[in-house]
Structures are given as C-alpha cells and as structure tokens.
Amino acid sequence: MTELLESIGRLWWLFPAILFLLFYRWTFRLLGIAVIPEDSIGIVNKKFVLWGANKSLPDGKIIALKGEAGFQADTLAPGLYFGYWPWQYTMYLQKFVTVAEGYIGVVEARDGIPLSDGRVLARQVECDAFQNARSFLEHSGERGPQIKVIPPGTYRINTMLFTVVLEKVTEIQDNMVGIVTTKEGRPLATGDIAGTEVPKHNLFQDGQSFLDAGGFKGLQEQVILAGRYFINPRLATVESRDMTTVPIASAGVVIAFVGLPGVDMTGDSFKHGNLVGRGQKGVWAEPLDPGKYPINPYTHKVECVPTANVVLNWATGKTEAHNLDKNLCTITVRSSDGFTFNLDVSQIIHIPRNDAPKVIARFGSVANLVTQVLEPTIGNYFRNAAQGSDVIDFLRQRKERQEDAKMRIGAALMEYNVVAVDTLIGDITPPEALMKTLTDRKIAEQEKTTFETQRMAQETRKSLEQAKAQADTQAHVVEAERSVEISEFKAKAIVKQAAGEAESKTINAKADAEVLTVVGNATAEKTMAVGTAEASVIKLKNDAVGQGNYAIIEVGRALAEAKTPLVPQIVAGGGGSGDGASSLVNILLAGLIKDNLKRE
C-alpha cells in the first residue's frame, strides 16, 4: 500500500493533464482562448459592452459592425484567438458552407437595408460571395432574398447574417429550349405579353446586370438553349420545351405576338390579312424552311403548312396521317328522281411555299382552310351535280363528273391560294331498292349475253363443220371443176372441128357433085367387071372343091380376119390326148366326106 501511494505521488501531474485533455475547450474558454478548427469558422456573440458609445445595436439591426453587443459581423477563421472571455463572449462554431456540384446557393440576408416597395430581390453588392458580412452591410446590402447566387464550392459564411439554401442548377437538355419568366424587373407596357431581349446578363445568370439593363418582369422573349445555367430560381423560373420543328415537305409560317408594329408587305392585291417582316408583330411574309428552331412558343406560334400534295378524304372512317380530314365524312346527295345516295370523294390539294403565309393570314391554320373552304365547296358541288341528274345517269357519267369537278373545284380554290391537283370520286352507294333493280337488270343482260354467246358458239361450230366438210371435198370439187373446164374446152374444140369438117364437107360435096357422074359411071363399070370376074372365080372354086367346102373355107377366112378363136381354149373331151386343132380338122374332114358321098 505504501509503495502504491508513493507511485501515485510520483505521477500526480498526469491528473491535470488528463483533465486538460478532457476539458481543454472549457479550460481555454476560462482562459479567454478561442480555438477554431480547420473546417469551421467562429461566430462571435458579444454579451455586453462595459464602456463606450456603442453599447447596443441600433433599432432593427441584428449584426454589430462597431463592437455593439450582439452577433458580430466579423467571423473568426480557423486558428487560436485570445481575449474572448466567457463572461463577455459566446463563441459558436459553424461548419463551412459547401455547395455541391450540380447545385447553387440561394442566399437570404437577415440584416441590411429594407427592400423598396415592389421589389422582391435585394440588389447585388460586393461582399466576396457573402463571405464578408461587414462589406455587405457597409455597402448598403439589402435585407431579404439576394439576387446574387453562389456557385458550387466551399465558403466561410456568417450564418447569423445569411442563410443559404441549395437549389439544383437549371439544366436544358438537347433539342430543348428554356422559356424564362422573371419575377423582378420593369413592368411590361400595356399590350405587351413578354419582355424584349436585353444585353449583357449572361443568359439571366447575372441578375443584377439584367435589371440594370432594363430587363422586364414576366415572360421573356429570349430563350436559352441546351446547357447548364446558374440562374437564381427566385429571380426567374425556366420551363423546358421542345424545339419548334418544321418537318420535311412543309413550310413554317411564323405568327409573332411580340415585336415592333408590323407594316403590311402584300399591298392592295391581298386584302385578307397583313404580312409583315421578321421581327415584327403579325404573320411573317417569309416562312421557315424544314428544320429545328429555338422559338419561344408563348411569343411566336409556328403553323406548319404542308407544301407537298395533301389528300383529303370525304369518307367516313378513312383518315390520312395528317388528320386534317378526321372530321370529314361521306357526302350524302339527292338526285333529280328523289333518290338519296352516298359517295366518297378524295381531293388532292397543294399549297405553294410562298403562298403558305397568305393561307395562314386568311384562315389561321390549314385545318380552318379545310373546314371553312374545302368542306363546303366540295360538298355543295357534288350536291348540285347530283340534283341535276338521276342516279343511273350519275353512275354512268362518273368519269365526266370527275373531270368537271376537278375543273370547277380547281377554279374555286385558286382564289384562296390553293392548287387543286385532282378530284377523285370513290365509292358510290346507290339506294338499296335501286341497286336491286339494277342488279336484276344486269343479271338479265348477262344471261342474254350468255345465250347470245352460246348461239354464236353453235353458229361458229356449224360454220366450222361446214368448213371441215368443204375442206374434205375441196380436192374432188377442184378435180370436178377442172374436168368440167376440160370438157368445155373439148366440146368447144369438137364444135370447132365439126364446123371445120362441115365446111370442108360442103366444099367437098360441091366437088363430089361435079365428079359424081363420071365416078359413078366408072364405078358401075368397074363393079360390073369385078363382079363378073368374082363370079367366074367362085364358080371355078366350087367346081374344084365343092360348094360345101368352099363355104367352110370362107367362114374360116372370115374368122381369121376377125381374130376370133376357131376352137375354145379348153375342150372337154373323152379322154383323148388330142388338142382343139385336131378336133376342128376332124370336123372339117367329116364334112367334106359327107358332101362327097352325096355327090356320088
């Protein structure tokens, strides 16, 4: 125990050291020493002033500039300070104010000169981004929301004078524009809806320069493009909107609600509206070509007018992609014979680029052009056309109606700076009762046509058969015809020959008649002599061979001269081997023998 007490006695100095480490701040405070860490500032509150003229703050002030009792404007940077006795000063440690990336610091002052009537933001004074409270107050800094913001970073700000609220920076995405509305500035003139652009305010990031340049309160004509901006949200609000796009095959007609008073550029030839130059209030005479434009949609309206051919359908349930004909429907007409029927119509129009502003100046939009001009014009034309004919004639004369509609509607639309490319009649729906009559008639006509076709087919078939038969006999006919011709030629030759022979015989007859007497006498004498001689010869022959044999000899001679076979080619005999000649010889011999016996 004695040894323990002796050891403690030797280490007595450790106890004050431990107490000092545990309570060094209190110790320093008791000694009037202020220790400010490296990440903080010291905000001093002076409790009282023992002597001097400035013992208390003036009325309405909360920050002391001249050593008055209260919160002091000057802060203590990190370090060690003496003389701040705890019975006279209270020391508050305040962490540095840090504004992170993507944010801004919006400041409000608790002390300073009151804002004048009508103002909502305090003007900017030089105070090192609100880190120098003394400079702020000495330069007549104003109480309330400050127009100046602090960008991202770390700041030593006296939070007894200033409060800092972090707000996100204003960011505009690609293909977008920022529409700015300010809460501070000059009031707009009567009739104006937006403030004109003023210079040198760095796209509303320098609020004080904006006000000094005469910026207006309210909607701003100027827009901001894609990017990041340090805009005080208490000065201005920014709305992101899509860029204005003028598509291909279109013209953008600008209607300006702001700008200088417009001077009409159309002259006396166009009396349906004024067209003005760019930057003036009204409809701009020069349209925008296809592309993207950073236009404030609250101050300028862009009407896109299609410059390509546009098809509009008067047909229920049929709408093109542009939707200009979404309210159009099938046209109902009445014919001269009292029938009501429906017809679909398609109208193709074209608006020239340079005439697009005139169309907008007159109608305000292409949709108004359709409802105010095209719909009544085309509907009335076809109603009038149907009233002048019956249903059947209307159906039959569809092509003529279509051509007439194109001509008349084109002439009517030309007065409105619109070109009518074509008018097309689509489906025509006649009354059901009439359609039944027409259908029955058509069926009967088709049946008649069918029967006629069948009859013609049979006639053709008959003609074909006849042709085939004629073709088959043509060779014989030709041969017969040729034979007839040959016969005719032969007959003619015979006739001519006979005529020649007759003529020859006539001549010969005359000659014969002359010599007939002489010849006749000579012939008679000759005949007589010959006959006498032949008679003598025959008598001699008969005497020589006998009368029967002579007769047989003469018969044989006659048969020989006639070339008649004396015997048959085949002789049926009794089995002898002799031929026909031997048989004939036997017959003749038998005859001779018989005659001789009779003579004897």
Six-digit token string for 287: 């349209």
pLDDT digits (tens, 9 = 90+) for 23-79: 555 666 677 788 899 999 999 999 887 666 667 888 888 999 988 888 999 999 999
Closest CA to 106 of 207, 247, 15, 249: 207
pLDDT at 149: 96
Higher pLDDT, 379 or 583: 379
DSSP state of 300: E
* CA dist list (Å): 288 to 11, 255, 307, 497: 93, 11, 12, 113
pLDDT at 95: 94
- Tokens 């920076």: give the residue: 169
pLDDT at 295: 95
Cα 48 to chain center, whole Å? 87
pLDDT at 294: 96
pLDDT digits (tens, 9 = 90+) for 165-221: 999 999 999 999 999 999 999 999 998 999 999 999 999 999 999 999 999 999 999
**Cα gap 281→391, rounded to integer Å:** 53
Highest mean pLDDT among 128-137, 530-539, 584-593: 128-137
Given its phi and psi angles, is residue 90 left (phi above 0), alpha (psi -120 to 50 degrees) or beta? beta
- 8 A C-beta contact, residue 103 and residue 168: yes
pLDDT at 207: 95
pLDDT at 32: 77
* CA dist list (Å): 509 to 17, 344, 498, 506, 513: 201, 109, 15, 5, 6
Counting beta carbons within 10 angstroms of the beta carbon of residue 69, is it exposed (0 to 12), middle (13 to 18) or buried (19 or more)? middle
pLDDT at 581: 45
H or E segment to which residue 34 belongs: strand 33-36
Highest mean pLDDT among 27-31, 124-128, 335-339: 124-128
| Least reliable range by pLDDT among 331-335, 430-434, 460-464 | 430-434
pLDDT digits (tens, 9 = 90+) for 240-283: 999 999 999 999 999 999 998 888 878 777 777 789 999 899 99
Band of pLDDT at residue 312, cut at 50, 70 and 90: very high
Q: Please report the domains of the chain, with CATH numbers, ordered by start residue.
A: 26-166 (no CATH), 169-242 (no CATH), 246-299 (no CATH), 305-355+363-434 (3.30.479.30)
pLDDT at 116: 85
**Mean pLDDT to the nearest integer, 482-487:** 77
- 8 A C-beta contact, residue 283 and residue 240: no
pLDDT at 58: 83
Average pLDDT score over the chain: 83
Is pLDDT of 1 > 70?
Answer: no
pLDDT at 307: 94
Question: Which residues lie closer than 8 Å to 48 by C-beta, 6 or more apart?
Answer: 55, 69, 88
